[in-house]
Amino acid sequence: MTIFLTGVAGFIGSHVAEALLARGDQVVGIDNMNDYYSVDLKRARLGRLGGRSGFTFIQADVADREAVGAALKRAEASGPVTGIVHLAAQAGVRYSLENPYAYADANVVGQVIMLEAARKLDCLEHFVYASSSSVYGANTKLPFSIDDPVDHPVSLYAATKRAGELIAYSFSHIHKLPATGLRFFTVYGPWGRPDMAAYLFCDAIMAGRPIRVFNQGRMERDFTYIDDIVAGVVAALGRPPAPDARGVRSMLYNLGNHRSESLVRFIEVIEQALGRTALKNLEPMQAGDVPATYADIDATRRDLGFEPAIPIEVGIPRFVAWYKDYHGIA
């Protein structure tokens, strides 16, 4: 099979590409290589894929109609594209306060462009796309279920990801396009993003700088290890949704660890893995943030056979080992 994968130089995208290549798929990956965070890190991720048989990289932006069309045309030249994994997005809750247009372009316009291109493919079997636990917004009932209302986003990032879900549903309804959205819960692991907590904390602790601990440390997150996320994405790709009562083939699933860890415990495990104690600046809750996330994965288990296996006590030491190796720290 030929799988078209967007955001291939990203954290999750590069890992998913590796898994698809390992099982024998052809992967055509695109990424715009923007500088929201280190382009060198993105290039290093691509470097791990570049020598693999069956992998093709095309630099293209999902918000550019012509570039997406040209990339898909090139992909189809080597065989029919049977699956799309659309992971490209402008990530980060806090950055959405500074640069809202980047989120509208990548997460809304990009979603429309990708779906419009997808519906024109003759052999496409499934369109899988990234959503986020952020869509649960101001909800207080835990764990978060896909049946919960998601009408009160507390950040623009969350609003754009919810918009992406609604746009996908409309394409499924109108064009009979099988589409599955995956709500990711705080993903971490080797090759992770520098703007995420694990990386930020390691950077600060190793440099002797205080770490910023929001909401005075009264935060909980459903931290999900990258290998578990990849298993969920690949499982979803192979299981296009059946028609619902209206004949619409559209589904949403949570991909989380199904356990909520306190931020304080998360920091403790990082300290233990680094062998250093963190200096902590206790700060108020940040705008757009939420105090707790926790995934209900009953539907994901039932339909996708999803079973997360890596707790933070295992995943964080793996991340720290990668972090030290990547930065040349003995």
Edge-first strand order for the sheet with 26-31 is 55-59, 26-31, 2-6, 81-86, 126-132, 179-184, 250-255
Which of 37, 129, 157, 323 is catalytic? The answer is 157
In whole angstroms, give the CA distance from residue 151 to residue 259: 24
Question: Is 157 in the active site?
Answer: yes
Nearest CA-CA partner of 128 in 184, 72, 85, 82? 85
Phi first, then psi: give them for residue 37, nearest 5 degrees: -140, 180
Query: Catalytic amino acids?
Result: 157
